[in-house]
Amino acid sequence: MRDSNRTTQHIALEEPLLFERSRPGRVGYSLPPTGVPETPVEDLVPTHLRRDRVEGLPELSEFDVVRHFNRLAQWNYCIDRGIYPLGSCTMKYNPRLNEAIARWAAFTEAHPYLPDEFIQGCLAIQWHLERYLCEITGMDAATLQPAAGAHGELTGLLLIRACLEDRGEKRTRILVPDSAHGTNPASAALGGFEVVHLKSDERGLLSPSTLRAAMGRDVAALMITNPNTLGLFEEDILEIADILHEWGAFLYMDGANMNALVGIARPGDMGVDVLHLNLHKTFSTPHGGGGPGSGPVCVKASLAPYLPVPRVAREGDRYYRVWESPKSIGRVKAFQGHFGVHVRALAYILSFGRDHLRDIAVHAVLNANYLMARLKPYYHLPYDRRVMHEVVFNDRRQNPSGVTTMDIAKRLIDYGLHPPTVYFPLIVPGALMIEPTETESLEELDRLVEALVQIAREAAERPEIVCSAPQKSAFRRFDEVEAARHPILRWSPQDFPPAWKGTKGIEQNVKGQGHST
């Protein structure tokens, strides 16, 4: 914190939009005469496919463009730059070993249309990854097809639906505790189910009595996130599984927080019937814009017949794809899923090995509890219990001086740090949700702690500094309400004349761009 001015210099540069950098007639190419007769565009493109006019496209040299994007890249905060403590998101280091292996030509130049004999290595990777994921989770079979976590959720629910139809049972409801990930109810609705919310108890956990009261023959499954979004382990998970199974319903586990359990406890042993994993969380593959993600689904044997095709199988030393499976729900993703991500995840698992995989969970949990212990004197802890991989504070102690969670998050930017997740989970008003992950060192954790402690002091003594943050970034606080109520979804020269035509400043432009996607 000695020189926080310097830490934010990368975001203190100004960089105009390409449209504003544009100068009439500037180009980035030099082409020789065509040497053949020119055909008017009207003869080539039908009228209904032609635009009447193209207005305001930027005119730039190659160098202008290269500099522009390099500068934007330097503004970007990323995990390779500093701690990225987003709760519920597991933003951890992507080891370079994974990247190096995923770039081998044997993988990058393989094509999914090649016959099985030509891609034995690729199929072996998928086969082994499936086996390892099943071993780690205590499940019987897996699919690597889903493109990301929520896609995995939908796939898991479609498996449940297929199984219920097969049994001739009509079950319409999915139970979702209020401490689950927000995608769970959305996936259940998309899967054609009615969503019923269950309230967590004063411990922040789902109590068996709440579940019992909601059970009926129309309940298809419970979707539980374990550890839940409060960072707490669902201690009654065995009883919860029993209740569901007594009623003939399934236990779905959102495995997004699996890095708290890896090598220590297995969902399969807890009675879970189906779960998805996020390779881009637990298994360190790139995440958050750097993706793509990957959301494998692991199931118990009862659901295995319904898994998507093609599946990868092995006979002796030969790997092959099984294209037909009578009860399969069919494809959920083109080709073999995000294969490059599978390579990275397998590299990650193998680089730890069986004996050290549990270090992931041990350090993830230790780091979160360290943050809890260090920050507890300064921030209110709504559920004061031993946490797993993440910890949820809120702004109750700062509220009397007018400081909110949003202000605290914005102030962290002035300290050169990425803010944690805010206002989630919804059951904690003003939530400030921090997940350090296992890959941060003690020194990095202390940097975050010192900044947050300093901000707590500022909130008490000089709240106006916190409330007006960020002050050191290129742009001050955006008008998020205005941007959400009146989003400007497309740049146009009328709204924002280029600099050489008008005088509107960059701040205004950026404001208009906020929340546009």
Partner 1 sequence: MKYPESYRYTREHEWIHLEGDIGTVGITHYAQEQLGDIVYIELPAVGQTFRQLQAFGTVESVKTAADLYMPMSGEIIEVNQEVVNHPEIINQSPHERGWLIRIRVHDLTEFDRLMSAQEYEAYVEQSS
Query: Whose Cβ is closer to partner 1: residue 162's or residue 409's?
Result: 409
Stretch touching partner 1 by CB under 8 A, among 245-253, 271-279, 349-357, 418-426: 418-426
Contact yes or no for 228/177 (Cβ under 8 A): yes
Query: Whose Cβ is closer to partner 1: residue 391's or residue 406's?
Result: 406
Contact yes or no for 439/85 (Cβ under 8 A): no
Query: Residue 341 to residues 101, 158, 285, 336, 507: CA-CA distances in angstroms?
Result: 11, 23, 6, 11, 38
CB of 419 to partner 1, least distance (A): 14
Residues 300-359 that bind partner 1 (CB under 8 A): none
Query: Whose Cβ is closer to partner 1: residue 264's or residue 426's?
Result: 426
Query: Whose Cβ is closer to partner 1: residue 141's or residue 408's?
Result: 408
Contact yes or no for 144/342 (Cβ under 8 A): yes
CB of 192 to partner 1, least distance (A): 16
Q: What is the DSSP letter of 303?
A: G
Distance CA 488, CA 476 (A): 19
Q: Which of 413, 402, 415, 422 is nearest to 470 (CA)?
A: 413
Q: Among residues 216, 429, 502, 505, which is the contact residue for partner 1, using CB under 8 A?
A: 429
Query: Residue 314 to residues 33, 121, 178, 318: CA-CA distances in angstroms?
Result: 59, 12, 42, 6
Query: Whose Cβ is closer to partner 1: residue 370's or residue 423's?
Result: 423
Exposure string over 408-438, b if 16+ CB within 10 A, otherwise e: bbbbbbbbbbbbbbbbbbebbebbbbbbbbb
Query: Whose Cβ is closer to partner 1: residue 81's or residue 197's?
Result: 197
CB of 254 to partner 1, least distance (A): 19
The two tokens of residue 155 are 């796939």
Residue 156 has φ and ψ, to the nearest 5°, of -60, -40
CB of 429 to partner 1, least distance (A): 7
DSSP helix/strand/coil, 196: strand
Q: Among residues 2, 51, 111, 485, which is the contact residue for partner 1, using CB under 8 A?
A: 485
Residues 19-48 that bind partner 1 (CB under 8 A): none
Tell me whether strands 250-254 and 318-322 are parallel, antiparallel or unpaired.
unpaired
**Taking CB under 8 A as the rule, which mask of x and - marks residues 173-202 in contact with partner 1?**
------------------------------
Sign of the dihedral through C-alpha 257, 258, 261, 266: positive
Q: Quickly count: other Cβ atoms within 10 Å of residue 45's Cβ.
A: 11
Stretch touching partner 1 by CB under 8 A, among 58-66, 286-294, 380-388, 420-428: 420-428
Q: What's the half-sphere exposure (Cβ side, CA atoms, 13 Å) at 507?
A: 8
Contact yes or no for 83/447 (Cβ under 8 A): yes
Distance CA 216, CA 482 (A): 45
Query: Whose Cβ is closer to partner 1: residue 2's or residue 485's?
Result: 485
Q: Which of 246, 237, 191, 238 is nearest to 215 (CA)?
A: 246
**Taking CB under 8 A as the rule, which mask of x and - marks residues 136-165 in contact with partner 1?**
------------------------------
Query: Whose Cβ is closer to partner 1: residue 89's or residue 122's?
Result: 89
Question: Is position 426 an interface residue for partner 1 (rule: CB under 8 A)?
Answer: yes
Residues 465-484 that bind partner 1 (CB under 8 A): 480-481, 484
Q: Quickly count: other Cβ atoms within 10 Å of residue 152's Cβ.
A: 32
Contact yes or no for 198/219 (Cβ under 8 A): no
Kindly state the number of chain residues that form the binding site for partner 1, as judged by CB under 8 A: 10
Query: Whose Cβ is closer to partner 1: residue 303's or residue 431's?
Result: 431
Residues 388-407 that bind partner 1 (CB under 8 A): 406
Stretch touching partner 1 by CB under 8 A, among 162-170, 230-238, 339-347, 416-424: 416-424
CB of 277 to partner 1, least distance (A): 26
Stretch touching partner 1 by CB under 8 A, among 80-88, 144-152, 412-420, 422-430: 422-430
Tell me the residue type at 493: P
Stretch touching partner 1 by CB under 8 A, among 76-84, 146-154, 200-208, 417-425: 417-425
CB of 483 to partner 1, least distance (A): 9
Residues that bind partner 1 (CB under 8 A): 406, 422-424, 426, 429, 480-481, 484-485
